[in-house]
Amino acid sequence: MDQSLLEGLLNEEESSSLDFKREQYAFDSATDDAKSELLKDVLAFANAWRRDDAYVLVGVEEVRGSRSRPIGVSVHLEDANLQQFVTSKTQKPLRLAYQVLRVDGVEIGAIRIPVQDRPFFLKRDFGRLKRNTVYLRHGSSTNTADPDEIARMALAAKHVALPQLAVESRVWPMRQGVFVVAISNKSGSGVARAPYLELEPPSPFQLSQYGLDGTNGQHGLPLLPQAEASSLLKFAGTTDVVLHPGTNRDIARIEWHGARDKVPSKVALPYVVGADGIAVVSGTIEITFS
């Protein structure tokens, strides 16, 4: 989360996508009853009717009609432990993330809950929460969903647009035999989360050791470990990495490592592309050098 988004949230009122918590949630060494407060809030936001990510800002005192006041917390939740805790209790994986932010000279916590297929509920009773009960955020309060509302959630999930990914390339200017590969998501499609890309450049083309900009060795997505002597390149993002409709993301720069006077006029590059919740697609793109 960047500062402009955080500032915007601090100036909003609590809603179906925003909550302020003055104190940190009880978690480490806490009883099930105490930990169920955190779990209930996460479930309620995950099941809420909304178009954007939901946030719980921890260490912030709500001020109605004005900017809420960051007061900070001294203890933070571990993101991995929080995700494991929630996912172990729900009937299917629930995506969320915890981030530490600094504002007004103090540290606050931000729990982000993306829009995702609903409903979510517990597999078994936990603390004060009951299994097979759909907790739901309505405005600034939490209720339980009735059967009609649960049916509407399931119906809405069937009509969620899926991402439509494509692989593109562009030739690097001023240097023969160099090109950049990108993933694009078609306008009007769904958001692509955790994008994945496989490339297999034909020898002697290789992945640039200097990354995309030629200086820092960074690629557009994390590069997964390679098998020894393999030319297959695998890039993958976590569920926090999203590709919105109508946008693209540069992933890798590929370079010719043969004799400079032997650069071919064209090269065919096989690929596999996918994202969370959709089947991978394989294909080949052709890069033409002038």
CATH number at residue 193: 2.60.40.1510
Question: Which among 47, 62, 58 has a CA at the least distance from the CA of 25?
Answer: 58
Same domain, 7 and 150: yes
Alpha-carbon distances of 157 from 36, 115, 139, 165, 228, rounded to whole Å? 26, 11, 21, 20, 42
CATH number at residue 93: 3.30.950
- Given 139, 158, 177, the domain boundary residue is 158
Same domain, 153 and 180: no
Same domain, 74 and 190: no
What does each of the 290 residues of the chain score in pLDDT, given as a tens digit? Answer: 888 899 999 999 999 999 999 999 999 999 999 999 999 999 999 999 887 889 999 999 999 889 999 999 999 999 999 999 999 999 999 999 999 999 999 999 999 999 888 899 999 999 999 999 999 998 888 999 999 888 888 777 666 678 999 999 999 887 889 999 999 999 888 889 889 999 999 999 999 988 887 777 789 999 988 777 778 999 998 877 889 899 999 999 999 999 988 999 999 999 999 998 788 899 999 999 97
> Judging by DSSP bridges, how do beta strands 69-70 and 60-61 pair with one another?
antiparallel
Q: What is the dihedral of CA 75, 76, 81, 87, to 10 degrees?
A: 120
